[in-house]
Amino acid sequence: MNLSETPKTTKKLSELIAIGSKRWNQVFNDWGNDFSACALESALRIIEPKDYQGYRNSRTISILVGIDPKLTLSCPICHNEYEICSLVMHLNDQERWLSARITDFLAKNGY
């Protein structure tokens, strides 16, 4: 995969998750299937609807949405630092946040 050839978006990660969460049921501890997706996967499917499985890692998704993969945020629950997209996976899988709550949190932090 050559990231210089991958699609980019002008939408924020929070916007992509909000759009995707209306299309797929949220799942936990899994990327998803044809009918469901975790919060990060739902954003990825909006960016790259045909070949999203080839992009399933937080660093690549960060680049696709224009977020520096080195930027971090603290989890408001456990207070550990995570790269932004890794934090989305953490909030989805470990903290069990619904997509709407993740979206609100990201939006409040500018993502």
The domain segmentation of the chain, as residue ranges, is 7-108
How confident is the prediction along the chain (111 residues), in pLDDT tens digits per residue?
Answer: 455 545 468 899 999 999 999 999 999 999 999 999 999 999 999 987 777 777 788 888 888 888 988 999 999 999 999 999 999 999 999 999 999 999 999 999 999
Could you tell me the pTM of the whole model? Answer: 0.89
- Of the candidates 8, 1, 103, 26, the one whose C-alpha atom is nearest the C-alpha of residue 62 is 8
